[in-house]
Amino acid sequence: MSPLKIYHDDRDDVTLVSNLFIDEYMKDANNAQIKVFLYLIRMMGAKCAPSISDIADMFNYPEKDIIRALKFWEKKMLLRVEYDEQKNPVAIHFLNTKKQRPEEVLALRKPAEREAKTQAVSISPYAKPEYGAEDLKAFKAAEDTSQLLFVVEKYLGKTLSAQDIKSLFFFTDVLNFSGDLIDYLIQYCVERGKKDFRYIEKVAISWAEEGILTPKMAARAAHKYDKKVYDVMKALGKNAAPTKGEADYILRWVNDLGFSSDLIHSACERTVMATDSHRFEYCNKILESWRSAGVHNKADIARLDLAFTQKKAATHPAPRSGHDKLKFNQFTQNSYDFEALEREIVSN
């Protein structure tokens, strides 16, 4: 079939929408969010000032859905909302979106996020609210929620509890995740054998903290936290999702220090045997010392251990008693004074 040609006779009565909005942002928004954004542009062009209730009545949505849509576009840095002392929206400023891609939006968001965190006393910007029955009722009544719940139940292989649904509501309400991003989030966790919503929430919050806005951005971030990262986490006795700081340590050991998995796991084993706290700092000290000593394989580690054992034997002669000597040698020797190493880590 031949392509359609599109004409319009009235060229004056139009509402202009940025191509960037269509190309980059519209695909991540749900129907309510798109409708609210386009309607606001229409009202701006007509120099009208609708209230939240007016917009809600226009599309037959709860007012909370309108406010969530505003928060969604504010998170995307397409608009800025002013609030009164009662936290009610009183003004909307559309922002310049020219040439802003998600990565650039993230760069613009960071200063504002840091300022918000500085001003907050003890409340996390991603703290999960105490949702009530009315909140869940409104969430379930939203246009895309039933499909989202169905998909999540299929991924998890179970019927969602009220607490599970509250977590999903939290992802949309506070973290401003789109349905597509929540879909990707659940798949991401399930593929790693994690179906507990406490774990899923930790991953979601870490994505929000990193400014992840789309499944594509999440996929790029996932490459950083590949199987090697999770294997090292497990070797250090950590079962939670890695924080950015923890992942940075592991990626440095692999990429910057150039250690193989077996050497990193050897350092992890020694760390776990030596301390219950500061394990990443502790393991980092071991690997840095191995790097300085030119360690490239386990034979090099054995060489270091032997040198340390010989040096220690020369400094501290073996006990005279055969029984004491046997007792002393029951412990594996290595090239580290772990107590001194822990004191150094804690003091830093």
Q: Which of 142, 161, 153 is nearest to 30 (CA)?
A: 142
Q: What are phi and psi of 143, to 5 degrees?
A: -60, -45
DSSP state letters, 25-57: IGGGS-HHHHHHHHHHHHHHHTT----HHHHHH
The verdict on 204 and 164 lying in the same domain is yes
26/48 same-domain check: yes
In a domain, 3, yes or no: no
**Domain co-membership, 328 together with 238:** yes
In a domain, residue 108? The reply is no
Beta-ladder partners of 80: 93
166 shares its domain with 251: no
**285 phi and psi angles, rounded to 5 deg:** -65, -40
Of 148, 143, 147, the C-alpha closest to 171 is 148
Backbone region of residue 278 per phi and psi (left: phi > 0; alpha: psi in -120 to 50; beta: other values): left
| pLDDT tens digits in sequence order for the chain, 348 residues long | 556 655 555 545 677 888 888 888 888 888 888 999 999 988 887 778 888 988 988 888 888 889 888 888 888 888 888 877 777 888 888 876 554 444 444 444 444 444 443 333 334 567 788 888 888 888 888 878 889 999 999 999 999 999 999 999 999 888 889 999 999 999 988 987 889 999 899 889 888 887 888 888 888 776 666 677 888 999 999 887 777 788 888 888 987 888 998 999 999 999 999 888 889 999 999 999 999 989 989 898 988 888 888 887 777 665 655 555 444 444 444 555 555 555 555 454
Domain contains 242? yes
Residue 158 lies in a domain: yes
Output the DSSP codes for 191-219.
HTT---HHHHHHHHHHHHHTT--SHHHHH
Which CATH number goes with the domain that contains 185?
1.10.10
- CA-based nearest residue to 166, from 193, 140, 143, 187: 140
Select from 306, 251, 331, 313 the least CA-distant residue to 284.
251
Give me the number of domains the chain comprises. Answer: 3
pLDDT value, residue 283:
94
For residue 310, give its domain range.
228-347
Residues 276 and 339 in one domain: yes
Residue 328 resides in a domain: yes
Please tell me whether the overall predicted TM-score, pTM, comes out greater than 0.75 for this model. no
